[in-house]
Homo-oligomer: A and B are copies of this chain.
């Protein structure tokens, strides 16, 4: 594997992952009604770090193969929606508004998993934990919308 190529893909995940540090969970998140199966807070950075390493690896493997156009387009799409979700959920506290973003993310990750798998078994496999985790995150997002019907999003223009 081309290490420099891996590092550029990893830099992309770092851009998306930086939202986790910049828009942290806090008292507001603690106060939300959550389903009983919500993972503890420490699980999230562990999962995301693992996923980012895995998909940078997958991207670097597949980018050099012929016929990787769709895989690369889905790779780019997933990282954009990945970067968008956290500021909308934890920044704007917009539970409902983060659902369509999660849907777009889920579609992009599904597309990336399939197209990577078609070209390279290990790259496809590296996307599977991501697809599983985004499915959990989507269910969690929907449950939080349902359990917090009166939650208002932050009105930035009034601050």
Contacts and interface: CB of A to CB of B under 8 A. Distances in A.
A79 B60 CA distance: 17
A73 B16 contact: no
Dominant SS at the A interface?
A: helix
A85 to B, nearest CB: 9
A99 interface: no
5 contacts: A12-B80, A16-B80, A24-B156, A59-B72, A79-B79
B91 A87 contact: yes
Interface stretch (A2-10, A36-44, A123-131, A135-143): A2-10
Contact of A70 (B8, B68, B94): B8
A47 interface: no
A104 interface: yes
Given A26-B156, A26-B157, A12 B76 contact: yes
